[in-house]
């Protein structure tokens, strides 16, 4: 829920120390596994009066982390993210959806992995802005998720043994510029 700390055309820089992009998939039907990308950057812009906004999230593909260095190397290779050729994953919103109480509830936009762009809708489970005494500025935070197919982005190796469907999660905080 927003409060009076966010004003028309506010711009917030994503705080990389409080922002994570997470992916979850079924591993050979045995369990749900997770990994994350450690390096994220971008911005959030909001105009609450007009109920508009935009989000740009850039992810360093080489920052993929699963807790297993051998698997991380495989994910960085040409068999998956091919980070030497495609160093960045990005999401750029095309619409920010508000509910009747002025809460941001969803983001629609373009997700690009390996120069392949697909339309994705992220449902938000949380979005809030408030003054942060640590920064002496307003900050916004959000959590959301969406489902994609790996094969749509040319990272579908080992499908169907490793699920084609992946749930993407993000946890983001951004500080007013």
Does any domain span residue 5? no
8 A C-beta contact, residue 123 and residue 103: no
Average pLDDT of the chain to the nearest whole number: 93
Task: Judge whether residue 6 has pLDDT over 80.
Answer: no
Residue-range definition of the domain harbouring residue 116: 10-176
- The DSSP-derived string for 110-154 is EEEETTEEEEEEEEEEEEEEEEETTTTEEEEEEEEEEEEEGGGGT
Does any domain span residue 22? yes
8 A C-beta contact, residue 176 and residue 138: yes
Does any domain span residue 165? yes
Share of the chain above pLDDT 90, in %: 82
Q: What is the dihedral of CA 122, 128, 132, 134, to 10 degrees?
A: -40
pLDDT value at residue 101: 87
pLDDT value at residue 112: 98
What span, in angstroms and rounded, lies between the C-alpha atoms of 165 and 152?
A: 10
Domain count, the chain: 1
Does any domain span residue 2? no
User: pLDDT tens-digit profile of 92-144?
Assistant: 999 999 998 888 999 999 999 999 999 999 999 999 999 999 899 999 999 99
Position 8 confidence tier, pLDDT thresholds 50, 70, 90: low
Q: What is the CATH number of the domain that holds 150?
A: 2.40.128.110
Does any domain span residue 3? no
**How is residue 49 written in tokens?**
């009066």
User: pLDDT tens-digit profile of 35-45?
Assistant: 999 999 999 99
Does any domain span residue 128? yes
């Amino acid at each position: 829920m927003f409060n009076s700390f966010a004003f028309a055309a506010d711009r917030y820089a994503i705080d990389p120390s409080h922002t994570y992009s997470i992916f979850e998939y079924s591993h050979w039907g045995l369990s749900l596994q997770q990994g994350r990308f450690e390096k994220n950057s971008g911005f959030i812009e909001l105009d609450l009066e007009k109920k508009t906004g935009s989000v740009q999230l850039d992810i360093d593909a080489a920052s993929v982390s699963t807790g297993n260095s051998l698997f991380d190397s495989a994910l960085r290779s040409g068999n998956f993210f091919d980070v030497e050729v495609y160093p960045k994953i990005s999401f750029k919103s095309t619409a920010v959806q508000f509910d009747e109480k002025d809460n941001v509830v969803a983001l629609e936009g373009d997700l690009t992995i390996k120069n392949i762009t697909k339309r994705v809708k992220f449902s938000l489970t949380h979005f809030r802005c408030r003054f942060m005494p640590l920064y002496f500025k307003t900050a916004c935070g959000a959590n959301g998720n969406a489902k994609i197919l790996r094969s749509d982005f040319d990272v579908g190796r080992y499908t169907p043994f490793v699920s084609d469907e992946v749930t993407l999660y993000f946890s983001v905080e951004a500080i007013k510029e």
